[in-house]
């Protein structure tokens, strides 16, 4: 039973740590499926985390904080869309600019508002998302095997964690079972054909960018008001880039994205729980354990997981033929 408890605790941490990655990965999925590459996921998450925590700290209402986080993420997403879709600018440069903008402004504005070195006040009570206990969780806790899995692993997460898990089948349905999803995927592969059919390429790409902004907003809000209890400088810690690596590993598919994000979450959970591992005469350093998720990111981006083919029109501005 002790081993089972340890496994459940690690998997429970995996879900919590994978939630922001999953939101960001699905955000990138919608954007890149429409042909708009977005390495600004990190910046949008960071800005959303700051705004969500700031508004929640001031108002004491976590829901207002969440919507504020989504709002600032949408603004940055629309700026990216304006630069890369309307003005046909370089999508990578636009994403990098958003990352720099968010990294700088969150600290400067945070210091100006709260005088805490860029941090926000600690959140508590109604200013944070609390844990949700699923029905009959207490009653089933003592049932062998299934009880701990249901009561301790599946139950007890925040509202946004469950939303992230539900977003996976919802994303699959939208992309593969709706007319909107078919057109969205088509505009990422052959925007000229979509335009010829009388469908607006610009409208579809902006729709994808807006969905990306909403999901990044939820990712940031979860970090500061669900997983954490306030905002700290650079608290996203590269999660946006890890989400991009997960998206490549998943080959731009929702269900594979879930598995990949859970893998990254598992590595982080193991690194947190086992700060050092003894292998006979050799002890694995703490720093190596902390770096595991980032090492996997480099391995994936280096192309050691097989050939991942992005949407054909990805990263290219569409110029309407006259």
- Measured in degrees and rounded to the nearest 5, phi and psi for residue 157 equal -100, 170
Average pLDDT of the chain is 89
Q: Which pTM was predicted? A: 0.93
Element (H, E) at 278: strand 277-279
Residue range 2-128+139-301 forms a domain whose CATH class is mainly alpha
Map out the domains of the chain as residue ranges. Answer: 2-128+139-301
C-beta of residue 223 within 8 angstroms of C-beta of residue 234: no
Query: Tokens 């694995």 identify what position?
Result: 284
C-beta of residue 300 within 8 angstroms of C-beta of residue 21: no
In this structure, what DSSP letter does residue 228 have?
S
Band of residue 270 on the pLDDT scale cut at 50, 70, 90: confident
Please determine, for residue 317, whether its predicted confidence score (pLDDT) is greater than 70: yes
pLDDT tens string 207-237: 999 999 999 999 999 999 999 899 999 899 8
What is the C-alpha radius of gyration for the chain, rounded to an integer number of angstroms? 20
Using CA atoms, how far apart are residues 195 and 256, in angstroms rounded to an integer?
30
What mean pLDDT comes out for the span 145-173? 92
Please determine, for residue 283, whether its predicted confidence score (pLDDT) is greater than 80: no
Paired strand residues for 131: 158
Give residue 281's pLDDT: 65
C-beta of residue 153 within 8 angstroms of C-beta of residue 140: no
Band of residue 172 on the pLDDT scale cut at 50, 70, 90: very high
Both tokens of 126, joined, read 């109604």
C-beta of residue 243 within 8 angstroms of C-beta of residue 258: no
In this structure, what DSSP letter does residue 35 have?
T
What mean pLDDT comes out for the span 121-131? 92
């Amino acid at each position: 039973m002790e081993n089972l408890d340890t496994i459940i605790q690690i998997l429970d941490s995996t879900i919590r740590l994978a939630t922001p990655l999953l939101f960001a990965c699905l955000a990138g999925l919608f954007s890149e499926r429409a042909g708009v590459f977005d390495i600004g996921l990190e910046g949008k998450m960071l800005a959303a985390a700051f705004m969500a925590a700031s508004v929640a700290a001031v108002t004491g209402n976590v829901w207002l904080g969440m919507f504020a986080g989504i709002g600032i993420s949408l603004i940055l997403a629309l700026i990216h869309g304006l630069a890369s879709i309307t003005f046909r600018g370089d999508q990578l440069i636009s994403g990098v600019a958003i990352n720099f903008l968010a990294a700088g402004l969150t600290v400067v504005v945070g210091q100006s508002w709260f005088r805490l070195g860029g941090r926000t006040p600690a959140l508590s009570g109604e200013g944070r998302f609390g844990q949700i206990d699923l029905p009959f969780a207490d009653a089933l806790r003592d049932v062998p095997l299934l009880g701990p899995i249901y009561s301790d692993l599946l139950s007890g997460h925040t509202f946004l964690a469950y939303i992230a898990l539900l977003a996976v089948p919802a994303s699959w349905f939208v992309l593969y079972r709706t007319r909107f999803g078919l057109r969205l995927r088509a505009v990422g592969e052959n925007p000229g054909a979509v335009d010829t059919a009388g469908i607006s390429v610009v409208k579809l790409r902006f729709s994808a960018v807006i969905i990306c902004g909403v999901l990044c907003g939820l990712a940031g809000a979860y970090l500061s008001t669900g997983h954490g209890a306030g905002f700290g400088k650079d608290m996203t810690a590269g999660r946006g880039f890890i989400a991009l690596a997960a998206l490549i590993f998943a080959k731009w598919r929702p269900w594979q994205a879930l598995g990949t994000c859970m893998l990254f979450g598992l590595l982080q959970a193991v690194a947190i729980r086992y700060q050092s591992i003894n292998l006979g005469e050799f002890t694995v350093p703490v720093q190596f354990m902390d770096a595991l998720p980032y090492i996997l990111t480099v391995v994936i981006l280096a192309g050691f997981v097989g050939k991942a083919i992005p949407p054909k029109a990805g990263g290219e501005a569409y110029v309407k033929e006259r």
